[in-house]
Structure 1
């Protein structure tokens, strides 16, 4: 039996398969691979019960007109994804009105692509099934099934539940929820589904299954990219509001060259101006020639880093960074797990080793030049494209000595012309789980964050940008409370991403972010990532742990396996902290 602290931290939302928020009422063609089989048809509908922070105002309505006695809703996944049969669960919220038959049999089917040929063949791939009896009720039920309870229902495949990125593991191919007729006197029934997900351990929840779970964060800092000169960016954001709060981070983009194939771009006085005014610069430094398309053959690939082509430029850039009087954040090779940049893993022989070596090469050259007032940000895309084994972000991590901050970028949604609407929870859950699971000791930022407005062709009753922002605020404080900073992408590009793209959007940012004390600084900007001076006693510690430090922003305890068992953010002014860890079992932490 796990102790209470471990159980709380071990229960994590891992991946949202569908949550339906923001989809149009009546929609039958959903994003990302939905399908139906047999007697079932489905559509998006308003939540038939009062909306909650967990379920929102849109759910899936499953109509069963019984002819053959069974009907299914499914989603084609066709992706590599790390699942643990010993720890993980599949979850969904289920509502069967009392007007239905008293009971329904539900089968959940998870299909693997063991041989990775992008097809399911019963002779070559496993199909896993679990069956549960559910009753009609007056409210929502949370169905949570341990993967360890699933049984192999065919003789093909390797007979092992092994969805993952390992050399001998397979893809997660399809997830299906099947309903079986239990009463021949009932010819039609209607069920409702929402928040279909995988979790590590129990799906986190609050006092009830419809309450958001408690978070473990103290605050989340704010920042922005505005498309203006970097040192004017703070005023662009802060002047939209009235309460005196300040952003902390200013992001901007700099390519190696704007007009040619010789790198000549360097940061200037804007960096020192930001530092002098208490802001932390975040410079996204792109190995790119701006006048050419991103994947033009003239764009450099990572071999140009490793063969020394850019040594002189990197050294001069490092010298420039060294000239500033305080620390800046450098983000290099961001969104490397996408396919749209020349530094991506896909564009570099699908080789994570090349990526790691190039990243380390840049950091090492800075260190050799004495340019050490740098925090290095390693930033992934919100989801890997393509979802193939070679593109797993964990295998592209340069190492703790080379990464100070982990990050991801979240957009709803950059495709054109009118992309599918996707909730913040749907977009972030997978990368959040991976980054906090595998790199729990690193600060975690959303380095680009934006939502589009609705277009006139869309259902006016569907979730708005303002709704999306406020729902995001709640999720950041609960499911995603280890996010340390969010940096708005505040400029028109594919869509109008600005926080004030509409009066409603600006009001939402003001009411749900800016005036919420969980977010941002009310006076000045004064954070420090300096390593803490750590003293632990008694040693080995038993029930109490006292830590003294010069500067720190969080305390984390992990067990011998590297699993986080305790985390707490601490006040900036604190110099020591005593923790009561008596609930932890004896062991090495």
Structure 2
């Protein structure tokens, strides 16, 4: 048994102090520099990996209430027995100003916010629906908005507005996805090149301009999501004409639904998406997200479509996410529409591929 004499005690205490300095104090001093404080980089936690991890696919949700009311999200999660990792919500340029609380509410529920940022006055669309106009009439009303011509966006007329959002999103300090001016290859929004006095090439110019305003404002926490609509006919322009380039895009996306009209035949996930996905892959190999999808039950095959969709997804390993449109709008696209549909969705997303978590310190994956 060792006896502790006074000299030995002094020696032990000295050694303990040196070890404390080496492991606790010295690294901090090195980070501080001369008489300074520890830098933000030294204090900041290291990212907890990429989102989603390779081989995984996140499940997202979009509702008509967005972050203003999470009741539909809670019902979706209960029916799916699965918490979504991304929430898509829309804001229109005519009336929306940056509101941090909307993003923070989504973050606090463990979901990455995805802003559907739409340069238009959506109230025209709402009024047209209230007047019970036909689908074609609604498309004409909402797409005819000269104030929001693409050339005006590209020309800088909205720069102060765009900059206010860029500065706000930068201040969040965590990753946010922006799906700007989606479904540009259609004819139903004022930012589509086929309507509203827009000209070929205007969409790319507008996209790049908005992106550059964000970059100049230092909003580097944005994952830019370029999202086309599935092509139903080869008579429309090639999707490549709308693509701004990989330097301006982080995720590519595509929107498509089964059973939008009562006269539509049954179309599987592959029949809805495969051709357009293949076309997008010739333009970019960025990770892909199904940015909106849903199925109706007008033919009684909604649950079947969901099962087949999730069976098909692994054949597209570059698809890193799927966002379900949980809204009863033109038709009832929700998974809560029936117990059979809820069960089909819950069984599908229980697969290990969809067991994903998101946290604000994760880095969105921008490569396959």
Normalised by the length of structure 1, the TM-score is: 0.47
**SS of aligned partner of 2:201:** helix
1:344 aligns with 2:192: yes
1:8-33 per-residue CA deviation (whole Å, 9 max, x = no partner) reads xxxxxxxxxxxxxxxxxxxxxxxxxx
**Alignment correspondent of 1:421:** 266
1:267 pairs, out of 99, 110, 119, with: 99
Alignment of 1:124-135 (within 5 A): none
Q: Partners of 1:483 and 1:303 in 2: how far apart?
A: 32
1:470 pairs, out of 281, 304, 307, with: 307
1:446 pairs, out of 281, 286, 290, with: 290
CA contact (8 A) 2:174 2:361 kept: no
CA change 1:437–1:307 in 2 (3 A) is closer
1:27-66 per-residue CA deviation (whole Å, 9 max, x = no partner) reads xxxxxxxxxxxxxxxxxxxxxxxxxxxxxxxxxxxxxxxx
CA change 1:360–1:554 in 2 (3 A) is closer
CA contact (8 A) 1:318 1:371 kept: yes
1:362 aligns with 2:207: no
Residue-pair matches, total = 297
CA change 1:275–1:397 in 2 (3 A) is same
Measure how far apart 1:238 and its partner are. Answer: 1.8
Q: Partners of 1:275 and 1:406 in 2: how far apart?
A: 22
CA contact (8 A) 1:327 1:374 kept: yes
CA contact (8 A) 2:79 2:343 kept: no
CA contact (8 A) 1:376 1:404 kept: yes
Instruction: Give the structure with the larger helix fraction.
Output: 2
Alignment of 1:166-181 (within 5 A): none
**Alignment correspondent of 1:283:** 115
2:244 pairs, out of 383, 398, 420, with: 398
CA contact (8 A) 1:338 1:386 kept: no
Deviates more, 1:429-438 or 1:322-331: 429-438
1:503 aligns with 2:339: yes
Alignment of 1:64-213 (within 5 A): none
Q: Partners of 2:269 and 2:206 in 1: how far apart?
A: 32
CA change 1:238–1:526 in 2 (3 A) is farther
1:233-272 per-residue CA deviation (whole Å, 9 max, x = no partner) reads 6434222244xx42111001111124xxxxx433330202
Higher RCO, Cα 8 Å, sep 6+ = 2
**SS of aligned partner of 2:329:** coil
Instruction: Give the structure with the larger strand fraction.
Output: 1
**SS of aligned partner of 1:398:** coil
1:239 pairs, out of 78, 99, 109, with: 78
**Alignment correspondent of 1:220:** 57
1:488 pairs, out of 317, 321, 324, with: 324
CA contact (8 A) 1:287 1:343 kept: yes
CA contact (8 A) 1:378 1:406 kept: yes
CA contact (8 A) 2:294 2:334 kept: yes
Q: Partners of 1:473 and 1:229 in 2: how far apart?
A: 25
**SS of aligned partner of 1:288:** coil
1:252 pairs, out of 89, 93, 105, with: 89
CA contact (8 A) 2:251 2:366 kept: no
CA contact (8 A) 1:348 1:354 kept: no
